[in-house]
Structure 1
Amino acid sequence: MPTDIAPLSQILGALEAAGEPTRLRLLALLAEAEITVSELVAILGQSQPRISRHLKLLAEAGLIDRHREGAWAFFHLAQSGAVAALARDILRRIDPSDPQFVSDRARLAEARRTRAEQAARYFAEQADNWNRIRSLHVPEEQLEAAIRDIVGKQEIRSVLDLGTGTGRMLELLAPRAERAVGVDLSTAMLAVARAGIDKAGLRNVQLRQGDIYALPVERDSYDLVLVHLVLHYLDDPLRALREAARTMRPGGRLIVVDFAPHSLEFLRTDHAHRRLGFSREEIEQMMRDVGLENVSYRSLTPRTRDPEKLTVSLWVARDPRIISDLVPATVSIA
């Protein structure tokens, strides 16, 4: 059966599940981001048992996806299939100025601001103290050597480092580039990065304060984009990768570095990690979803079998466009 059609019983079940005010509001919210039950309780102002019951009915109807990570469960609008397409179609037909949905979106924005503020406070408090996290995975020298190997010897015109943090990746790659830009939300982290860049004597680096979901940089302009140990802090990694892809020059490369799936719950509670790692398949699917071609994957596993140690994964994807894709048909290139 084609993926865009479904049995009558399934369609009727989805319509019945969606045809209730609270559940329709939940669908609209979950189309925006991955959200936990506790956040939905705060946004909608209803009890946890009631919200959990609504989520259960929506999941059983195939309208939303649920995945558990440690003690947390995340919900999001279903991404594929006829029922998911039906849900998106229903949501497209809702008046975006409806007062109820405007209010819900405002509360969601407040919840997301709270997340961002928590992460910013963490970065400000931890700006000079990364030793504990670094001790959990392979030595920094080994990870940096792997990144240098991936980058190779080809010319780099422009580098973009998203969530630049201490600026270490800029220090590593900027000497190879004509121009390098680092973006971070935290002014405290940008201060740390600026000190390191000044110390390294790098004059081709710019630092910008900005949101990874709305990057303050040019589109179609960077031939190397790096997202280094950042995605696990985000509530919507796919959205961040989509924004990263928009900055890439045709033929440009995206390097994602992050942890493989793990169970170190203290990283979430004590260090503001939103996600406990990513599988190879999860990131590769995200790459495809944002229009990139997967190129390579590798993992760096600590030699010890200590369960407290983390595996670091590195993904490389490429923008499949060619330069002519950005040039109007009426323009010729000599």
Structure 2
Amino acid sequence: MDELLAQLRAAAEPTRLRLLALCARGAFCVSDLCTVLGQSQPRLSRHLKLLVEAGLLERVPEGANAYFQLPPGPGAELVRLLLARLPEDDALLAADRRAAVRLAAERARAASEAFRRDGADWDEIRALGLPAEAIEQAFLKLLPPAIPRFLDIGTGTGRLLELVADRARQAVGVDASRDMLALARARLAERGLAGHCTVRQADMYRLPLPDGSFDVVALQMVLHYAEDPAAALAEAARVLRPEGLLIVTDLAAHDRAELLTAQAHRWPGFDDAELAGWCGAAGCAALPSITLEGPLAVRLWPARRLPGLVAAAPAALTF
């Protein structure tokens, strides 16, 4: 009862309700919230600190910034119950929503322009002329109809999160690139998916996530960039629950040496034996792979996390 009363007291203030209403729609940093609400940073920082301490928001560090979003579990459920009591046509909340949409669009344009200016090729599947639709359909066929928690490692622009949004109760994407994350946040917000699809900055070798916390973990077109694919798979397996599903989508072994220089690939694709060996060392049992032909063959390697085995991976970090 004491915890619930503390949470209700924390929410019982106009600015804090506005903050909860915004953060229920996606992740925002303090400067974004200052822009939307038109209030000073010290004032909003105090409100955010109270909401985090009450368990109604979580603070996710990202470089020099920190993003605020709904936490997993009971705190988010209480926030949604409270927000459901607010009038949908409230003029102040509607103005906040419009300002947040404008801000997200500006952030997306800025990130996209940076990618175009620097020549970064962030949609690799299409850049290589690979059958994007066929890859996505093959991936969806491997998924269960309902997924409590889904993790996309190397999420890029968040396309995979968008793809699974109607099946996953909670979908999380991690990426090392802040520019990629800016695009992903804008994409998810634009499609109205930011309430249950979130992204955060993370190193795929040291995921800031608890052991066994996801039901499905995906690595799509990521492993050929990895210095140590075995370690990346071991870390992916660590955060996968027993009997959970791991799906690796990547290039099959090829002889296109120019990709190692022009595209900075570390590996010229993979074969079934390599993936089966790395998955086995990570405590997963490989399932039959799926091959999609194209300019370069793409293969999907599914695997199941074995019960009672622990992958050799670094200890989990916490925020």
TM-score (norm 2): 0.58
8 Å contact from structure 2 (residues 152, 218) kept in 1 = yes
- Which of 1 and 2 has greater Rg? 1
Distance 1:124 1:317, change over 3 A: farther
Alignment of 1:81-120 (within 5 A): none
Q: Quickly say closer, same or farther: Cα 1:195–1:122, change in 2 above 3 A.
A: closer
Partner of 2:241: 249
> Do structure 1's residue 185 and structure 2's residue 171 form an aligned pair?
no
- Is the CA contact 1:217–1:247 (under 8 Å) kept in the aligned structure 2? yes
Q: SS where residue 278 of structure 1 aligns?
A: coil
How far, CA to CA, are the matches of 1:123 and 1:213 in structure 2? Answer: 28
Contact kept, 8 Å, 1:160 with 1:226, in 2: the verdict is yes
C-alpha distance after superposition, 1:162-187 (max 9, x if no partner): 00011100000122111111000000
Pair 1:215-2:207 in alignment: yes
* Structure 2: distance between partners of 1:228 and 1:255: 8
Match of 2:123 among 127, 130, 146: 130
1:73-126 Cα deviation digits (max 9, x unpaired): xxxxxxxxxxxxxxxxxxxxxxxxxxxxxxxxxxxxxxxxxxxxxxxx999945
- Superimposed CA distance per residue, residues 183-224 of structure 1 (whole angstroms, 9 cap, x where no aligned partner): 000001111111111121101012110100000122111000
Alignment correspondent of 2:94: none
- Shift, 1:127, TM fit: 5.0
Match of 2:139 in 1: 147
Question: Could you tell me how far apart the structure 1 residues matched to 2:129 and 2:159 are?
Answer: 17
| Number of corresponding residues | 196
Cα drift, residue 260 of structure 1:
0.5
2:291 pairs, out of 299, 302, 305, with 299
- After TM superposition, give the deviation of residue 156 of structure 1 in Å: 0.5
Aligned partner of 2:188 in structure 1 is 197
Q: Give the letter aligned to residue 192 of structure 1.
A: L
Q: Secondary structure at the match of 1:182?
A: strand
- The list of structure 1 runs, each at least 4 consecutive aligned residues, that deviate by more than 6 angstroms after superposition, is 121-124
Asked if 1:311 is matched to 2:297, the reply is yes
Matched position secondary structure for 1:175 = coil
Pairs within 5 Å for 1:1-334: 125-127=118-120, 130=123, 133-153=125-145, 155-202=146-193, 203-302=195-294, 309-321=295-307
Deviation at 1:322, TM superposition (A): 6.8
1:124 and 1:188 in contact (8 A); partners too: no
Kindly provide the amino acid, as one letter, of the partner of residue 194 in structure 1. Answer: R
8 Å CA contact retained: 1:124, 1:186: no
Shift in Å, 1:296: 2.4
Matches of 1:223 and 1:150, distance apart in 2? 13
Which protein has greater RCO, CA pairs closer than 8 Å, 6+ apart? 2
Q: Verify the 8 A CA contact 1:137 1:311 in the aligned structure 2.
A: no
Using a 3 Å threshold, how does the CA distance of structure 1 residues 198 and 135 change in structure 2: closer, same or farther? Answer: same
- How far 1:135 moved relative to its partner? 4.9
TM-score (normalizing by structure 1): 0.55
Q: How far 1:266 sits from its partner (Å)? A: 2.1
Q: Distance in 2 between matches of 1:256 and 1:218?
A: 20
Task: Please say if residues 121 and 127 of structure 2, whose CA atoms lie closer than 8 Å, have aligned partners that are also in contact.
Answer: no
Do 1:261 and 1:276's aligned partners in 2 also have CA atoms closer than 8 Å? yes
Question: Which residue is 1:25 aligned to?
Answer: none
Report the equivalent of 1:31.
Answer: none
Take 1:266 and 1:128, find their aligned partners in 2: how far apart are those partners? Answer: 15
CA distance in 1, matches of 2:186, 2:142: 27
CA deviation profile, 1:23-51 (whole Å, cap 9, x unmatched): xxxxxxxxxxxxxxxxxxxxxxxxxxxxx
Distance 1:248 1:258 in 2: 19
1:281-326 deviation line (CA, Å, top 9, x unaligned): 1111111111111122110012xxxxxx100000110012179x9x
**AA matched with 2:185:** R
CA offset at residue 264 of structure 1? 1.7
Q: Match of 1:296, SS? A: coil
Q: 1:174 to 1:270 in 2, by over 3 A?
A: same
Unaligned runs of 5+ in 2: 1-113, 311-319
What percentage of residue pairs aligned between the two structures are identical?
43
